[in-house]
Amino acid sequence: MYPIERSLRTLKQYVRNKACPEGSIAERYVMNESSTFCSRYLRGIETRFTRDERNDDTIVENEVIGDFEIFKQKVRPLEIKLISIRKHLRLQRRPAQNSMDLYKIQERAFPEWFRAQVLELRQSANLFDDFFSLAMRPSFDVRCYNGCIVGGVRSHSIELDS
């Protein structure tokens, strides 16, 4: 989408009076431009020009996370991963595989791994029953009925009718 199309879409969204769209667009455009102009000179108020970036990674010196002084941070971790050295070396020695091979391996190995983890955690910790149900895999037991009642109307299967 071209920038002019984006700006026109924004201007079209300003229309409140469908009988006179030109006036609504002009009013909102002037209001938007004047508020933008004034906001550049406001101090101490957060505007779209003074707002921090979405992924701000500046480090505040001696920032304490939580209530304890010992948790001073010099970095802002996004995700903490702990990989043992042996596991890392094992992964390094593994021959390169394409994504389809990795997908097949994951599809085969993950259910068993997940089941083992849930069974282990169920013994030691309080685990939700939903996790246990997921780990036990789907049940292929099927119940068959000859008919059902929906909204007060009884329906039968073809086998029962014949």
Minimum mean pLDDT range among 78-82, 131-135, 148-152? 78-82
Residue 16 maps to a domain: yes
Alpha-helical runs (H) found in 1-136: 3-13, 21-39, 85-93, 99-124, 129-135
Residue 150 maps to a domain: no
| Distance between CA atoms of residues 153 and 67, nearest Å | 63
More confidently predicted of 31 and 82: 31
Residue 81 maps to a domain: no
Residue 158 maps to a domain: no
Range 83-102 average pLDDT: 68
Task: Give the structural domain span for 25.
Answer: 1-54
Counted domains in the chain:
2
| Distance between CA atoms of residues 140 and 130, nearest Å | 18
17 pLDDT above the threshold of 50: yes
83 pLDDT above the threshold of 60: no
pTM, 2 dp: 0.31
135 neighbors 114 (Cβ within 8 angstroms): yes
39 neighbors 49 (Cβ within 8 angstroms): yes
Residue 160 maps to a domain: no
Q: C-alpha dihedral over 29, 32, 36, 37, to 10 degrees?
A: 50
* pLDDT of the residue at 20: 80
